Structure 1
């Protein structure tokens, strides 16, 4: 491995030390419905995001709250200390489609209408707030 490549790999590893993630796979709701909830918490401080999710009346909010708690505990395990209020924020969060279940519903005159039962995958990254300010300065 060349010197430049090694240096950039070390910088990338150093940046990932303060970052933790959690994935939520095969959630049985459409990606569009999940994105409505995801957009509420993107870029927010994690404890504020937990409050938003707890009092949201969307069904996807409960599942996303569990994923956010998992990401916070992953960060705590990685850094071997508790997360304090105002320290972490949701740096990246995105929703992608999962495999679709296709079913047939009986329709008039011997036809069959196709039912598509959609699902989604959610990936959530949390990072420290001091990294947010240094990234914006560059």
Structure 2
């Protein structure tokens, strides 16, 4: 028996926000339905991170429509975020001058985000 998989993914690499800040919002939308997650991101207080994740979710929804044409497009309420991972990307290392001619290292972190969308089983 062949089992159909209805999984679509989208990723975004090199986002100039630290993974810790991104995970705060990613944890809010994990395992939520897609329209509920978009609403949470619209009214979130973390504006910059929410804007990035919202654009990624809209891209994910577009990928879903492209893969399955319009067969599942009406049933958005059954689409949910199966998995969202925020990993650390490249770190830019900079020096900040401090007293007595020294320099302290500043680490500017970036994130890699992977989101997987799936279809809920209808009851």
Output the TM-score relative to the length of structure 2.
0.91
Q: 1:102 to 1:110 in 2, by over 3 A?
A: same
User: What value does the CA root-mean-square deviation take over the aligned residues?
Assistant: 1.6
1:1-138 aligned at under 5 Å gives the runs 11=3, 14-15=4-5, 18-58=6-46, 59-81=48-70, 82-130=73-121
The count of corresponding residues between Structure 1 and Structure 2 is: 120
Which runs of 5 or more structure 2 residues have no equivalent in the other structure? none
Q: Contact 1:76–1:83 at 8 Å: present in 2 too?
A: no
Structure 1 runs, 4 residues or longer, greater than 2 Å off? none
Q: In structure 1, what is the Cα distance between the partners aligned to 2:51 and 2:30?
A: 16
More strand by share: 2
Which runs of 5 or more structure 1 residues have no equivalent in the other structure? 1-6, 134-138
Structure with more contact order per residue of length (Cα contacts < 8 Å, sep ≥ 6): 2
Alignment deviations for residues 80-105 of structure 1 (CA, whole Å, 9 cap, x no partner):
11252411000010000011000000
Alignment deviations for residues 41-75 of structure 1 (CA, whole Å, 9 cap, x no partner):
00000000000001102120110000011111101
More helix by share: 1
Output the TM-score relative to the length of structure 1.
0.82
Q: In structure 2, what is the Cα distance between the partners aligned to 1:19 and 1:40?
A: 21
